[in-house]
Amino acid sequence: MTKLRKNYVSIKPSVDARLAEFSALWEQGSDIEIFRELCFCVCTPQTNAHRGWSGVCALFEKNLLVQGTVADVADTLREQGVRFHNHKARYILQNRSDFYPDTKKRIREILAMYDPQSLLCDQVPGWGMKEAAHFMRNIGFGNYACILDRHILRQLVRYHVISEIPKTLSKTIYREIDAKMKVFAENCKIPLAALDLVFWYEETGEIFK
């Protein structure tokens, strides 16, 4: 834990800057920018985060998030190295129908409800609990839910928060680990949203999204 705190202190300015960017996105971002973030979290399962971001940015630049067909979206995602591009293209179009153009209004309504992470998981095609938490963090609500991807789970084992990485992550198991990580963050005196970025830094040597 001492090393973790030391790492946090050393990168805190960069972490704070990135978290400020996430908050600014929600406060100042347009519907299409929030929708792009939603689609990024559709693209990340089983795909490198950088490739997922490249894919959704390519869609954004080509205006395919708003007007693209399933085939157009799938082709662009494939070109950017996004795995399962056909399934994810269909999810993106389903989400366009459900969440665009009134993206912020729809998301704001969900965030105001009890257990928004679970609601987002249920209502956004292509998402599980991890993707819902990732989205919440990336729009400035990262202190409410943990992003339990493989990088974070490995770190939680390393710091003895959990004994092993579970073979499956049901909602029940996810919530149990989420609660343990929140206690660990409090004990470390590191904000939950920041802890995810510190863990990511320890795993990859960078601060991304």
**Which active-site residues does the annotation give?**
130, 149
* Rounded Cα–Cα distance for residues 141 and 81 (Å): 29
ω into 116 cis (within 30 of 0): no
- 58: alpha, beta or left? (left if phi > 0; alpha if psi -120 to 50): alpha
In angstroms, rounded to a whole number, what is the distance separating the alpha carbons of residues 4 and 194? Answer: 12
Closest CA to 80 of 59, 109, 66, 104: 59
* 27 contacts 34 by C-beta, under 8 angstroms: no
Cα separation, 176 vs 32, whole angstroms? 34
Residue 147, φ and ψ in degrees, nearest 5: -95, 95
Cα distances (Å, whole numbers) of residue 9 to 2, 13, 152, 158: 11, 8, 19, 20
Q: How far apart are CA 21 and CA 138, in angstroms?
A: 9
